[in-house]
Structure 1
Amino acid sequence: MTPLELILILVLQFEGISGVIHFYYKPGDDAILSCDGVSSSDRVCSRVNWLYNRDLSQTFDLVQNGNVVKNSQARAARMSLDTNCSLVINITAEDAGYYTCRLSSKLDSAVLLSIITILPSPPDADPKTDGNVTLECSLLRFRSLGCRPNSIRWVNETGTVLLGEGVGYEFMGQTNCVSVLTVKRQSGHNRRYTCQVVERNKVQIEAHYTPDFTEGTSDDEPDKSNTDWSPLDYAMLTLRIAGLLLITVIVVLLIKGRGNKTPPDENNVHDDGDEVNYENVEATSAAT
C-alpha cells in the first residue's frame, strides 16, 4: 500500500478534519456533488475533472475537461455538470464511493457519497400477506470506511427507537453497515418503520418502509377484492334467483288470468220501451 493510500484512509476515518464533504442520498434521488474552489473564470468547466473510487484498487475518470466520459461505465448516462461544475447524478446503489473534483493547478476537492437502502428479505416475498418480514437497512459507502456500532437505528411511526424485542417487531442487531429488523405484517395494522443513519450525533438521512397489504383489508372487514365465494354465498345467490323466478311466474299468471275473463253477454239486457230488464243476475254474480 502506497503512502498516499494510507493517508487517504486516515483522512476518511477521521471525518470532517480534511475538508471531505459528506453527502447522503437514497436511490432515485438527484445528487449534486459540489466542486470547491471553482471561481467565476472556471464556470465553463473546461479545466474541471471528476474521478471516482469505490475502493482504493481502481480510479475511474468520470469527467475530463468539463465533458462526461462516455465510457465511464453505465453511470455516464445518469451524469451531467451544472453551471457551477458540480457533478449531478441520478442515484443508484452502485454510485456510493469517493469522488474527487480536480482543477488544474489547484488542490483536489473530495466528496464522500453514502447511500441508504431498505430491502425486505427475501426481496421477492409477497408484500400482501400476513406473516413476518425481515427488513435490511444498508448504508452503502466507500469500502474502506465502516460504520460505528448503533449508528444505524430503527424507529416506528411515533419516533420510538426499536431495540430488542417488542410488540410486532424484533431488532436483530447491526453488523458493520447493515441493520436488521424483523416485523410482523398484519392486515389492518399498516405501521411505518424508519431506518435512520446517525453520525456526529445527528440524523444524516432516513428511509421509510410501510408494509403493503391488499387494498381495503382490515381485521373486522373482509377483503372485498377477494373473488373466492363460500358455499353460503352460493346458497344465498341461488335463493335470490329462485325468488326472482317465482315472482315472475306469479305476475305472468295474473296477467294471463285477467286476459281470459268473459265480457258480459249483451243478450242478457232487454230494452222494453222505458223499462230495462236484467236477467241472470244471480248467474252473473256467481260468475263474478
Structure 2
Amino acid sequence: MLQCISGGIHLFYRPGAEAILPCDDVSSSDRVCSTVYWLYSRDLSQTFGLVKNGNVNKSARAARMSLDTNCSLVINNITAEDVGYYSCRQAQKLDIKVYLSIVTILPSPPDADPKTDGKVTLECSLLRFSGLTPCRQNSIRWVNETGTVLPGEGVTYEIIESMKCVSPLTVKRQSGHNRRYTCQVVDERNNVQIEVDYTPVFTCGINDDQTDKSNTDWSPLDYVMLTLRISGLLLITVIVVLLIKGRGNKTPPHQNNVHDDGDEVKYENVEATSAAT
C-alpha cells in the first residue's frame, strides 16, 4: 500500500479504509506536533491548509481527520474526495510529500442488467493526483482466483478533476461458485502495490444449468405455499391410516344359521332326534 519513489510517497487504498499519511521527518526525540502543518492539493490549481500548528482546520472533512502521536495525518473512511497530493511541513525542514490514490472495481455500466447478454465488463479504476504522469499501459493487471493473469483491454486514463486510470476486463457470465477477479496495481518492476477483489453475482437464465436454482432466493409467499402443501399431504396420510385401521378392527357378525342353497339346517332338531334314538 506504500510506494516510495523519487518525489514522494505513494499510498494506495480502497474506499472506506483508514488512511495514515506519514510525516516521517519527525525524529524520535521531537514528537511535538505544534509546529506541524499539513497541506492538500487536489489538482495543480489550488492548495488548502488542513492542519495548522498541530490542529485540524475546520472544514467539511475535518471530522474524519486527526493527527497521531507521530504527527501523521489520519483520514477515516476515505472517499474519492480525499484523492490528491499532501505535504507535511515543519519549520526549517523539508516537506514530506504524500500522494493518496484510491482503487475501485465496478461493473460497466454500474446498473447493468445481469440478464442482458452472456458477458459483463468490469472496470478497475485508479483515482490519483492529476499532476502525476499518465498511467503506464501495464500498470494495472487482472488475475483470476487461481492467480492466472487475464488478457485485459489495456489501460486508459481520463482527466476529470483528477487523473483516472481505467482498465476494463470483459468476462463471460457463467454459473458456479468461487469465481473471483482481482485488479492489481503494479510498479515498474511488477511489484503489487495494492489489489482489489471482485466476485460477480451471476443470475441464472433460462438456458443456464438448472442445478443452480437451489440458490434462488424464496419469497415469504413461497414458504407459506410450501408449508400448506406439506400440511395437506400429512393430513391425507393420517386420514388414510385411520380408515385402514378402522376397517381392520371390525368384528364379523356371529352366524347361528348355516345356509346351503337356500336350505336351512336347524341344529336344535338334530339334537332332539339323537336323544329320541
Same fold (TM over 0.5): yes
Q: Which residue of 1 aligns with 2:119?
A: 132
Match of 2:246 among 248, 251, 255: 255
Question: Matched residues in 2 for 1:211 and 1:135: separation?
Answer: 9
Aligned partners of 1:130, 1:221: CA distance in 2, in Å? 20
Q: Which residue of 2 aligns with 1:280?
A: 256
Residue 49 of structure 1 is matched in structure 2 by: 37
Equivalenced residue count is: 235
Deviation at 1:16, TM superposition (A): 2.5
Give how far 1:59 is off.
Answer: 0.9
- Give the aligned partner of residue 87 of structure 1: 73
Deviations 1:58-81 (A, max 9, x none): 11111111111121x3x2222111
Kindly indicate whether the alpha-carbon contact (under 8 Å) linking 2:66 and 2:73 is maintained by their aligned counterparts in 1.
yes
DSSP 3-state at the match of 2:107: strand
TM-score by length of 2: 0.72
Residue 211 in structure 1 maps to residue 192 in structure 2: no
1:188·1:219 contact (CA, 8 Å) conserved in 2? no
SS of residue paired to 1:104 = coil
Q: Which of 84, 99, 116 is the matching residue for 1:97?
A: 84
Question: Does the 8 Å CA contact 2:175/2:212 hold for their aligned counterparts?
Answer: no
Unaligned runs of 5+ in 1: 1-14, 164-170, 229-233, 265-278, 284-288
Identity %: 64
2:6 & 2:53 partners in 1: Cα distance? 29
TM-score by length of 1: 0.69
Deviation at 1:196, TM superposition (A): 1.1
Structure 2: gaps spanning 5 or more residues: 158-164, 220-224, 260-277
Would you say the 8 A contact 1:130–1:187 is kept in 2? no
Task: Please tell me the root mean square deviation across aligned C-alpha atoms, in Å.
Answer: 3.5
Asked whether the 8 Å contact 1:130–1:186 carries over to 2, the reply is no
Match of 1:78 in 2: 64
Q: Tell me, yes or no, if structure 1 residue 122 matches structure 2 residue 109.
A: yes
Q: How do 1:206-245 residues align onto structure 2 when only pairs under 5 Å count?
A: 206-213=195-202, 219=209, 221-224=211-214, 225=216, 227=218, 245=236
Assess if the C-alpha contact under 8 Å between 1:66 and 1:81 holds in 2. Answer: yes
Secondary structure of the structure 2 residue equivalent to 1:255: helix
